Chain A
Amino acid sequence: MRSLPLADPGTPPTSGPWPLLGWLARKQAGPLTAAVLLGILTFACQAVLPWLTGRAVDGGLTHGFGRDLFRAVTGLVALGLVSAAASAIGHRFDVTCWMRAAFTSSELVGRTAARSGHTITAELPTGEVVSAVANDSLRIGEMYANAGRFVGSLVAYAVVAVLMLRVSVPLGLVVVLGLPTVAAVLGLLVKPLQRKQAAQREASGRLTTLGADTVSGLRILRGIGGEHVFTARYREQSQKVRAAGVDVAGTQSWLDGLQVLLPGAFVVALVWLGAHLALTGTVTPGQLVSTYGFAAFLAWPVQNATMMLQAATRAHVGAAKVVAVLRVVPASGARPASAAAPAPGVALVDETSGVRVDTGRVVGLVSADPDESAAIATRMGRFDDEAEATTPVLLGGVALADLPKEEVRRRIVVAEATPHLFSGPLVDELDVRGVADRTHVSHALALADAHDVLESLPGGLDGELTERGRSLSGGQRQRVALARALLTDPEFLVLVEPTSAVDAHTEARIAARLADARRGRSTLVVSASPVVLEHVDEVQLVEDGRLVARGRHDDLLAGAAGADVADRYGRIVGRRLDEERTTAAGGAERTGGAS
């Protein structure tokens, strides 16, 4: 059995669901052919069994315990063994086909998600992408897993038809035409059942969400009480699910009853017809037994055919959803590069605002509107080529959008305000470029004042970060993300509000170390915190999207760029203090009044 996933998933057509399904089939032509051949063998053997049973009965009747009986029984055992073996090996190929198709589409979705940047979240809800792997890929696989049994069933049906028609034309016709009719009638009843099941699944899905929500919000629930309100809501939804289930039970029970009634009535009719023919000697008792056996057996291929129909429908729906994910085009780097990268030692300039990071400088970026400064920093990361066509950022005079994207990512790293931590061993998650040793990693943690994380994480550097770093506090997450960004050690490092969630002492320590560590490397820090700005080489002040002043923090405050700039700058970097002081004083006054 070939190990999966395959070395290269390949490039699938994304023109539609059928081309994707066809491409997947061609990619696994070998196992698929084997599955089909084994399916045919299994079912052909099974189809002959009732015929041999009838022969055995007749043999026993006419010649007693003798050669005819032995021959028929030997045949039964031989065919049974072949069928059992073919079925077991066939199952292995069925599962192989299933895995190849399901894993290939899963990997393609995973690859797209890893490559597409934020476009994927903009175009599709997260749930849809996850569902493309969790559900749709598996459904696609099911179609291929059913293929062998489906073709086998068709062949078995043909074999039975031939055998039956040879025994008796009327009996044969009743069997060959009757069962599909029964299946079709039952098929009609499946629709309302599926509707009700879907309603219950939906209610049940809401209940699951509610349950997961309770747990996620448990800490908050604990802070304010409300546990029993929540339990009551859960119970209410749970009872809705139960009611929907009872609704399903109504339809399901009728369907189950009819599934007994229709085929049963069909077999009764067949036996009646066959027995009368036997009475006149047209068929032998053994052939009557065969007829009964065929009728019971044929329910199986008919069921397989129905399953294949449903599997193919679901696979088609699933493939359409997978294609929707595969069609996502990354917002940056989709076009080939048109310019060569400039040599190191050049400046990074945001044309629109005039903000620039000269080589080897640690620059602080300040704006009265934090969104504005964050937007400038984000532009420097080249996340959206189209949106930034009108707001170019130049590296040594070349627009970022014209450079090879890997080159941009290698030289410029933008760590945004809400970075995402991934699950995995801390040391691996910190060293994303995979080039640092453990000393470097520890050093970076120390730089970001994140050493306490090693203590709270069992296993220290080798400890597992949980999804989104949820086991860490908000401040710890921010400091870990900062350490991660520092470890990439790029030519240009852009940090957006890197210390907004840490206390003042820690912020001061980080700011001093950060400036030291990046000395000689180009760095831009977006922050309005005086504790940070004090340590940078140069502050650039932006107002209404334009650079209005630059200089050292102390100089700007002292009026080096003019008294009005000093005034406005002072208000921005000191504002948090002033305004909160007013608020807090207001609160305190009222508190004082009431007590």
Chain B
Amino acid sequence: MRLPIADGPTVRAYALGLLRAHRSALTRIAVLHGLAATAGLAGPWLLGRVVDGITHGTTGGFIDRMVAVGLVAVLTQAALTRYATRASIVFGEQVFARLREEFVETVTTLPLSTVERAGTGDLVARTTNDVNRLQHAVRFGVPRVIVAVVSITLTVVACVLVSPLVALALFVGVPGMVTVVRWYLRRATPAYVREAAAYATLNGTITESVEGARTVDALSLGPRRHRRVRSDLHEAFRAERATLNLRTVLFPGVDLAFVLAPAAVLLWGGWLAADGRVSLGAVTSIVLYGYQMAGPVWELIFWVDEIQVAMTALARIVGVQLVAPDRTAGTDRPVDERIAAEGLRYAYREGHDVLHGIDLDLVPGERLAVVGPSGAGKSTLGRLLAGIHPPTGGRVTVGGVPLVDLPLDELRGHVALVTQEHHVFVGSVADNLRLAAEHADDHALEHALRAVDAWDWVQALPEGLGTAVGSGGAALTPAQAQQLALARLVLLDPHTLVLDEATSLLDPRAARHLERSLSAVLAGRTVVAIAHRLHTAHDADRVAVVQDGMVSEIGAHDDLVAAGGDYAALWRSWQHEA
């Protein structure tokens, strides 16, 4: 399943809503740019007047006056441009900052089941590539489009004011140009999206080759990786060639309009001037206006193109907001710390139940080991017990209230989950810990780190608690990363913990060390330990054997061994091997 992508009307409605919300700021910017563009129209008009003046005989004084007006116009345009530019950049920054903040807030509250089914790759791409692509359009595109539209409109108005009759000739190339531009814009977006995707794939291939350099060498994957780069480059080439072909039509199509316009104005204007119906100065002004329009027209085409591409990014960003929440917080509050599961079912794909109705009561303070073969549903059970996924059937309650009816913050005070995955967040060591307790002081952090036996190495880091870790910062070993995760638990202080093979991805030595730290964290809490090593089970208060999505046996280790069921058989083989 993929994350949703918003459809055209939704995206347009969203974009319009955004524009409407900032109507007054946008108007102000448009007015400033409009005034600047108006001042910029003085040049050709003045030159026309001067040409007329010279043809009909004039004085140096007239020319000086005209030039003085021109100078004032340039100064005004420069000053207005300065304020208009500033206002539009500040505006773009503001709108975009809000947009990306809202987006990330949405992302962090997405149902985890959705994220897992879609894979994090898509979401990472939306958070990075799409946000960046959109940023370009919002920051630079929107202001440039405003400038271009205002300039073109005002230039046309100026031509009409100078001489509506002559100005007619300006539009001789317009029908052709409009046809070509429409043809182009219809095809451009998918073509440029494909181009961007081709480069993203290429960068991904290089990243993989470098990150997996050791495996590439060990398995002689070099030629294969090289071939992959070549095929990625070939796709990039084909994508580039496709957009190039589009531009090969667009460029001359638009250029033609700007070749025809001045020629038509000169001929038509020359004919009119011969009759004395217009002055040659008016013709001159309009020819120069025609040349002057080429810049804004090209800029408009360029940005419409970019904004179309940005709209596809926006569709993916808005799409994330379309994911329905998987829970709504209720008002009931737990009466005690007792966690219970009733008739628990769960399906990742509809109709494929992974759990087939599990009942389980946790005794506060007990240690329950969950064992069973891979793929039996142990991890899924753990996630439901921690309230990560809402069950598809049945319910998990704490103190009589379903876990998924609790606000997230409160839920984590009751039960937390630690898995075999380890991830060090970008930021300082302290930042990593404060994710669990926002207002914890350094003393509390130190206490938590000491509890998990991590204070020594944290203290030895260049800046102690303040040392930057995570991507780009100091590298931590997987064991250290997992210790930070455990320290977070100490700070979070939930009464129930679900440990899903928390140490299984570590090498045996690191795992041993970590498990010592772990015991400090477990003290005084209800613990559900999902494990693949049976000794964990031996020491637990109770053992639940999960097979094929059902609890097949549950009870104290000794009782189960005595009962002579599956667990007993497993235990015997394990003991024999050890």
Contact = CB atoms under 8 A, between A and B. Distances in A.
Interface stretch (A115-123, A147-155, A165-173, A340-348): A115-123
B367 A289 contact: no
A5 B420 CA distance: 42
B81 interface: yes
Contacts of B527: 591
Contact of B577 (A252, A508, A586): A508
28 contacts: A65-B270, A84-B256, A99-B237, A110-B205, A110-B229, A111-B226, A126-B207, A208-B128, A209-B471, A214-B108, A220-B421, A223-B388, A230-B108, A252-B85, A256-B81, A264-B74, A268-B67, A268-B74, A296-B292, A381-B218, A409-B218, A414-B218, A434-B224, A474-B505, A503-B371, A576-B512, A576-B533, A594-B524
Given A272-B64, A293-B291, A423-B208, A576 B508 contact: yes
B39 to A, nearest CB: 9
Given A69-B266, A114-B223, A595-B366, 9 more contacts: A60-B280, A107-B233, A204-B132, A224-B492, A225-B412, A332-B217, A452-B375, A474-B505, A475-B504
Given A229-B435, A502-B532, A504-B532, A585 B288 contact: no
B105 interface: yes
B108 A231 contact: yes
Nearest to B251: A88
B433 to A, nearest CB: 10
A271 B116 CA distance: 68
Nearest to A503: B532
Contacts of B366: 591, 595
Contacts of A225: 408-409, 411-412, 416, 435-436, 492
Most chain B CB within 10 A, of A53, A574, A591, is at A591
Most chain B beta-carbon neighbours within 10 Å: one of A226, A292, A332, A449: A226
Given A213-B425, A245-B139, A276-B63, A432 B211 contact: no
A591 B523 contact: yes
Contact of B97 (A130, A238, A332, A573): A238
B251 A87 contact: yes
A126 B210 CA distance: 6
B16 interface: no
Q: Which of A113, A213, A219, A594 has the most CB of B within 10 A?
A: A113
A449 B375 CA distance: 11
Residue of A129, A296, A504 most packed against chain B (CB within 10 A):
A504
Given A4-B233, A88-B251, A209-B472, A113 B512 contact: no
Contacts of B485: 220, 224
A257 B51 contact: no
A467 B229 CA distance: 15
Interface string A112-140: 01111111110000100110011000000
Interface stretch (B5-13, B441-449, B535-543): B535-543
B397 interface: no
Interface stretch (B22-30, B40-48, B307-315): B40-48
A273 to B, nearest CB: 9
A363 interface: no
Q: Which of B119, B263, B434 has the most CB of A within 10 A?
A: B263
Nearest 7 pairs of A and B residues by beta carbon:
A595-B365, A80-B259, A503-B532, A420-B212, A110-B229, A226-B435, A257-B82
Contacts of B515: 580, 583-584
B260 A77 contact: yes
A471 interface: yes
A254 B79 CA distance: 9
A587 B218 contact: no
A209 to B, nearest CB: 6
A217 interface: yes
A72 B411 CA distance: 82
Nearest to A473: B379
A497 B577 CA distance: 18
B156 to A, nearest CB: 19
A436 B382 CA distance: 39
Interface string B37-67: 0001001001100110011001110011011
A587 B520 CA distance: 7
A588 B540 contact: yes
B90 interface: yes
Nearest to A246: B90
B266 A230 contact: no
Contacts of B70: 268, 271
B222 interface: yes
Contacts of B202: 106, 133
Nearest to A225: B412
Interface stretch (B184-192, B240-248, B548-556): B240-248
B293 interface: no
Contact of A595 (B64, B230, B258, B524): B524
Interface stretch (A27-35, A314-322, A437-445, A527-535): A527-535
A499 B118 CA distance: 28
A126 B131 CA distance: 23
Contacts of B541: 588
Nearest to B58: A279
A386 interface: no
Contacts of A213: 425-426, 470-471
Contacts of B110: 218
B259 A590 contact: no
B488 interface: yes
A103 B240 CA distance: 11
B212 A506 contact: no
A501 B213 contact: no
Nearest to B106: A231
A56 interface: yes
A61 B213 contact: no
Interface string A274-310: 0110110000010011001100100000000000000
A485 B574 CA distance: 27
B507 A257 contact: no
B54 A285 contact: yes
A417 B218 CA distance: 12
Interface in B61-111: 63-64, 66-67, 70-71, 74-75, 77-79, 81-86, 89-90, 92-94, 96-97, 100-101, 104-105, 107-110
Interface string B212-241: 111111111111111011100110110011
B237 A4 contact: yes
A226 B234 CA distance: 44
B262 A211 contact: no
B193 interface: no
A99 B199 CA distance: 12
A528 B508 contact: yes
B82 A253 contact: yes
B248 A253 contact: no
B219 A413 contact: yes
B211 A591 contact: no
A40 interface: no
Interface string B318-348: 0000000000000000000000000000000
B209 A65 contact: no
A301 B60 CA distance: 33
Contacts of B214: 117-118, 121, 383, 416, 420
A470 to B, nearest CB: 7
A249 B85 contact: yes
A235 B101 CA distance: 6
A500 interface: yes
A590 B248 contact: no
B46 A73 contact: no
Contacts of A475: 374, 504
A466 to B, nearest CB: 6
Contact of B236 (A103, A249, A409, A594): A103
A383 B216 CA distance: 11
A73 B266 contact: yes
B155 to A, nearest CB: 14
B78 A261 contact: yes
Interface string B279-295: 01001100110011000
B364 interface: yes
